[in-house]
Structure 1
Amino acid sequence: MDYYGFWQMLLEEMKAAPKSAQRHIVTFNDPRMYAGALSQWKSLKTKKPGLRQVQVSALIQAFFVPAAGAGKLMDRYADSLCIEEDHRIQVHSALADPSGPSMMPWGVKAIRAPQAWSRSTGVHVKIGVIDTGVDFRHPDLKHTLASGVNLLNRGMMPLDDNGHGTHIAGTLAAAGGTRSMMGVAPRALLYPVKAFDHNGSAYVSDIVLGIDWCVQNKVDIINMSFGMRNRSKALHDVVIKAYRAGIAIIASSGNDGKRGGDYPARYPETIAVGALDRRQRIAAFSNRGPYIDVYGPGEGIPSCWLREGYKEMSGTSMATSHVTGAAALLLALRPGLSPRELKLLLRRTASPVRLRKGQRRASLGGGAADALRLLRVGIRARRSSGGAGSGGSSDGSGVAKAAAAKA
């Protein structure tokens, strides 16, 4: 293959395309061709600045180009390439009402996280949060944040300019103690991965690069509170890579109020989450169906917000952060648990949801997340399988115990 000619053709197409042209994901059918193209790209990009706009995922061996000339490339390299559209993807939430600080949000109590804190607070569990970034100055988050990465501007911190990522982070691991709010796993460590812009929008390629980063940095869980209706081979490929690396991906199902749902939650390698209201019924906006693994609190959820504030939001995004937090509580005690085992335990320990008129339980998928039961069953399962340790040790901290006493 003429790798120089490949990049030259691509560069010409990028120059000719309007700024609004659709981005594309380019992969090679033969890994050796990818290696050759990568080597040529590295040598050419210093001489041809336009090629610096191209990004690479080593995990799935893909190139992300801002305006690939798909027609000409496929005409010339039809036997060698796979080109797919780089679709837009959105966060799964709708803004609700302003809120004051809530020491113990109702969702955290609903999944019985405070009762679980005598056993586990999620200590040392690394959670990748692919979202809009985080407010690093928020007092309830300052003890739970690692540096993370900003995929939209590699030279900057992953600062939140939307609010969605900060809200997710608060539910996951806020640790305000007696002064402010507590999240589900207050001693977990959050790695913000800013892939979404101020409008809560990203490209599939940004998500692929985010998962790639999480795998390289050996996180334990990835929270993905977003989705799209389109299938994407590149996204599925990178989800499979993370799954095989032992990283659980917990994803929101979407807010269309329909049977079925969005990707990546529909991929079998993820843990798909739907939303519940305060009465333990499936929220009217939540997608539902047999593919849903578990439901979490998702209606009127108070959590952290920008400028050190607080706000209520609703969506399967919020439900997903509750489930991810519960998973972190278990992984702190069972660090070797595989994504498949975690999914089975979440399904097995879920409580029945309350049915609305006309609903059939079998058509809804999993039940309501229960952090306390998840820990109890998860620990017993380790003991019965002869795992190391008793499983009864605690990672609880003083702040968690004080919060639990107030719950």
Structure 2
Amino acid sequence: MDYTDFIQMLLEDMESPVSSGEKNIIRFREPRHFYACQDRLQTLHLRYPNMPGIQVSDLLEAIIAPFPVSSRLMSKYHDDLIIEEDTQMQVHTLVNNKVNQSPGIPYGVKQIQAPKAWSTSTGYRIRIGVIDTGADYYHPDLRQSLAKGINLLHRHLLPLDDNGHGTHIAGTIAAANGPDGMIGVAPRAMIFPVKAFDNNGSAYVSDIIQGIDWCVRNRMHIINMSFGMKTKSKALLDIVGKAYTAGISIVASSGNDGKRRSIDYPARYGQTISVGATDRNRRIASFSNRGDLIDIYAPGDKIISSWTRGKYHEMSGTSMATSHVSGSIALLLAQNPDLSPAEIKELLVATATPLRPRKGQSRVVHTGEINAYRLLREGMKRKNNPS
């Protein structure tokens, strides 16, 4: 492969005026080609520091090109490259209402019996990468819960939340403001906001890839992914697999379409823990995707949590359910840090609370709603009596 020629063609594509907003993920069939091209790109960046936006993912061994790649380049290097269009995805939220005061311990946190688990574990020192819209670092309930993280959209800035969704997720996972504010599932866990989504709650697959890459390199224990899309992505699957192999539990929301036999990606990938939503009555929420592809359910209907500017909002969606699961896994890992992602998934299902059927529902659901207290009890048994 002629690396200089390839990069020259890439730079020409970058400078070409185009009408479409298409972006591409370029992967190499042989890792040595990636590393050689990466070295050339780094040399160019040193020589031309203002050269715009070609990014790389070391973990995926990919180049992310924020512009269309020409047919000329694809034709010349089709034997060396795998090129995938960079598609968009959205956060999984339906409803958003203002709330005037803190919920204290929200109903979802109580429903999964997290307060009963706090005498055993509060999630101390567990690191959770929340790939989302950022977080409100000034919210009184989150000041003790947020680490620096990263802003993938503006790398020189803090990952501040300009949407609200990421702050809501962070609050359910790990808010920690005692009697005066809200308490999340794992109040002593540490959240690392990874801002990949813009103020409209939109991101590209390449942003998620870079977010997962960052989480692996910075040794997260859990990745919370409260978003999805309808189309599959081989590049996203591969990097999810790499995070899973690195021992990270990846918790993903299933989607809000009320489908019975289909869920969104990346929750559909077997390496993730796919989450559906329940309501206050421990029934599957009407909006939630459901069926055999769901690993676990959690409260996701009318969930009150933290919001930007120190406020609170009520939101519904499988996004909200996912944050309850991430917090519960943090409680478990603080108590039993040697558990693998596969063992954690098996424990979630084994200790789940059975769901109540909806009217007219006759089919047995193969999994239930997460129960943090039972999860920790079973986790302690496994720790004391390893097989």
Fold shared per TM-score above 0.5: yes
Q: Conserved in 2, the CA contact under 8 Å of 1:291 and 1:365? A: no
Q: How far does the alpha carbon of each residue in 1:287-322 deviate from its partner, in whole angstroms, 9 at most, with x for none?
A: 111011100000000000010000100000000000
Q: Does 1:301 align with 2:303?
A: yes
1:89-238 counterparts in 2 under 5 A? 89-99=89-99, 100-238=101-239
Tell me the equivalent position of 1:74.
74
Shift, 1:50, TM fit: 7.6
Q: What is residue 400 of structure 1 aligned with on the other side?
A: none
* Alpha-carbon separation, structure 1, partners of 2:171 and 2:221: 18
Name the residue aligned to 1:87: 87
Aligned to 1:245: 246
Return the alpha-carbon distance in structure 1 between the equivalents of residues 155 and 184 of structure 2: 29
Q: Per the alignment, do residues 19 and 328 of structure 1 end up closer, same or farther by CA in structure 2, a change over 3 Å counting?
A: farther
- Which range moves more in the overlay, 42-51 or 324-333? 42-51
What SS does the corresponding residue of 1:340 show, helix, strand or coil?
helix
Residue 312 of structure 1 aligns to a residue in which SS? Answer: strand
Residue 252 of structure 2 aligns to a residue in which SS? strand
Task: Tell me how far apart the structure 1 counterparts of residues 253 and 19 of structure 2 sit (CA, whole Å).
Answer: 31
Percent identical pairs in the alignment equals 56
String of CA shifts for 1:71-117, please: whole Å, max 9, x gaps.
Answer: 22221111111000111011001233211211111100000001111
> 2:271 — aligned with what?
269
Tell me the secondary structure at the aligned position of residue 178 of structure 1: helix
Partners of 1:17 and 1:67 within 8 A in 2: no
With the length of structure 1 as denominator, give the TM-score of the two structures. Answer: 0.92
For structure 2, the 5+ residue unaligned runs are: none
Q: Tell me how far apart the structure 2 counterparts of residues 25 and 11 of structure 1 sit (CA, whole Å).
A: 15
State the match for 1:349 in structure 2. 351
Relative to structure 1, the CA distance from residue 272 to residue 297 in structure 2 (aligned partners, 3 Å threshold; closer, same or farther) is same
Report the residue type matching 1:95 in the other structure.
V
Per the TM alignment, residue 176 of structure 1 is displaced from its structure 2 partner at its CA by 1.3
Q: Once the 2 structures are TM-superposed, how far is the Cα of residue 68 of structure 1 from its aligned partner?
A: 3.1
CA-CA distance at 1:168 after TM superposition:
0.3
Separation in 2 of the partners of 1:133 and 1:383? 38
Shift in Å at residue 255 of structure 1?
A: 0.5
Q: Which amino acid aligns with 1:285?
A: F
CA change 1:19–1:46 in 2 (3 A) is farther
Map of 2:7 onto structure 1: 7
The aligned length equals 385
* Whole-angstrom CA distance in 1 between matches of 2:334 and 2:269: 26
Q: Is the 8 A contact 1:11 1:50 kept in 2?
A: no
Q: Distance in 2 between matches of 1:208 and 1:12?
A: 25
Pick closer, same or farther for the CA change 1:361–1:382 going to 2, 3 Å: farther
> Deviation of residue 70 (structure 1)?
4.4
Q: 1:360 to 1:48 in 2, by over 3 A?
A: farther
Query: What is the identity, as a one-letter code, of the residue corresponding to 2:214?
Result: W
TM-score by length of structure 2 reads: 0.97
Structure 2 residue 317 is matched with structure 1 residue 319? no
Letter in 2 for 1:380: K
**How far apart are residue 357 of structure 1 and its match?**
3.2
Query: Contact (CA 8 Å) 1:10, 1:68: kept in 2 or not?
Result: no
Partners of 1:136 and 1:28 in 2: CA distance: 39
> What displacement does 1:40 show?
1.6
CA deviation string 1:200-220 (max 9, x = no partner): 000101101101101111011
Structure 1 counterpart SS, 2:147: coil
- Measured after TM superposition, the shift of residue 197 of structure 1 is 0.5
Change (3 A) 1:36 1:351: same
| Structure 1 residue 14, shift from structure 2 partner | 1.8
Q: Residues 365 and 198 from structure 1, CA distance in 2 versus in 1: closer, same or farther, beyond 3 angstroms?
A: farther
The runs of 5 or more residues in structure 1 that have no matched partner are: 387-407
Q: Distance in 1 between matches of 2:71 and 2:29?
A: 17
The letter of the residue matching 1:371 is A
